[in-house]
Structure 1
């Protein structure tokens, strides 16, 4: 989408800060038209990438409020997830754009200085030049952007022409190969024809030598030969049909054996999963019954049920009861759920660490969270699983404490998807506690019978221990 710039006048302080080199002569476009030009897609992507790279280097008070959360993203996610917010802020906030430009021009070196002066080296990448020109906006910057669009289109056209030429060359090569094969086949046919003609001449010579006395015998022999050829043809066709049927039956047998093997493997796998789910459910029910029996241990009843029915007819005010709903971030609620038999605690790793100690590096965040979860697993004896985004971040991971399972989402899959899969894999009735402040995750796991709690409940629980 094209980046657009607001048409209202800029503040005086924005005008002073417009020139990234420190002056004030580069703060105004070379055209009175305030509308944004239509940017080629490579140029738009390069602008967003440059801005995303410069965000962490800006002071906190110079980063617009909508981009402060984006600035905390990992480098490989900042340009991808914050592209829309960055594009909107560049179009609507000239002062922010100029602050970003001042840092990018400094990093660009000679190319940045040339773009500030309104020129571009002939050997420079037109996309890079257009991106710098859009951010710096020296005199004639629109011409640089249009030139980049023309260069990108020329590259696309050149690639199309190259592909067409390659296809034509391949077709010519195939035609030459087919012509050579046809020539070889023609030579073979001519040789075969010469051989047949030679044999025919020999037969004619033999016929003439045998004479009239042998014609009747030859006729009988020809008739016998024809009958023999017919029978041989029938036998050959029958043998071919038999071979074809045998191959077909062997193929069907192989397919049946393959299908039977797959069915056996699937049945065995399904039976293993079902056995695990049934065992876990029975174990959970058993421990829940034991806990309930211990929890509901009551003294012998002093009153009979009829006594309570009789009390309903006595004019005595009923005792008022009140209850306060537990907050999803209340650590006491987390303790109650972890006290349930065979509870399974599933934690959205980075959702908790970035909320509790986001100032640390990712490696330190993972170590601190996994160590704290090891303490909870040791205290409660519950199953604990922590899920992080991205399998490529496994470097620096400490050994997992006893009772703690550490998982990383695969390529193309988020930690939220992996958490939902873990919840769906559990048997109905097992207490599953999911720690995540993401409302979408909480709503999804709640539909499958899990108990969603906010990240603060776990952070308070870890701080307490």
Structure 2
């Protein structure tokens, strides 16, 4: 049979409804397996649906396309044959399959189009005609089963009604017990609320008392701490005053003793208690020479003579000396060079040295390594170095040799009134150069 004759025969053949529904189901299943390029445009939107939904929604479009589009029908038949290989091969080769469903055979024959496909469709149509008789027998059989099921349902319903009555009675009893339990629980909750309120009130009273005790304890501790601080400050002040008085006395005594000893050695005086013949001759004695000989303040030999005095304290106006000696160097370099040179001087002469720098020159914390025996002080905020130098002079006991190195005339005059000797900065610079 030619393709034209086949198409015409197909168009003239009317499929029984069971066969048509099975053809649409098989074609809808195959539609989801075909490439998008092989699917006709009206069917592409159904390809992504679930198989059952696809068969239901595409039926009105899929049937006519299978009847008119021979290429699409062949692609669908090929895919269906792959899914139902044994039965599809038998139908395609014309092999009878008596045990198979005639509707299934007719649907596969319609898609695969073997030579006898029209006969297969006709056989399925004949089976559909004989179906009402079989349906009557099935209906009678189902009616008997329905009557039997109704009888069993009535029996089950009676048993269930009895059980429901029993459950209702039991439910009434349980409701009564539940109400009694709720009443007891309500009374217990009321009692619990009252006891909870009492406990909270007691807790509040206890907390208030605890807070009051803690406040009193903190107040007493603060008072104890304050009194301890006052006592400690008083003890420290008294100790410092006793220590300062002892130090001042010891320094003065050491100065007097060393001066007397040095004078005795210099004059080669004999031990005391002996009267010499010359002591009986009357005459006018000369006045005592001042501390150190009279000489210009920049005399380096005078500086050495003053440093040889017993217990001498050398006080230096730091920046006055450094800016005279090294005016172009940074301040931190000036400070370090001065204290390093003074360290060498202390190691030679064993004297007490204090260097005072003006704190107004500082822009932050000072990093300075002072040698052993060199005391370094910076004037506090709002106080100039000159005032700190005067305080150092006033702090020493009367009679102790004190030498102040500064070119500032105001400092020289003020320390001279306090009993100290002043020297120019160039004197110390010359002495350092020889160290």
| Same fold by TM-score greater than 0.5 | no
Query: Taking structure 2 as the reference length, what is the TM-score of the superposition?
Result: 0.41
Which structure: larger Rg?
2
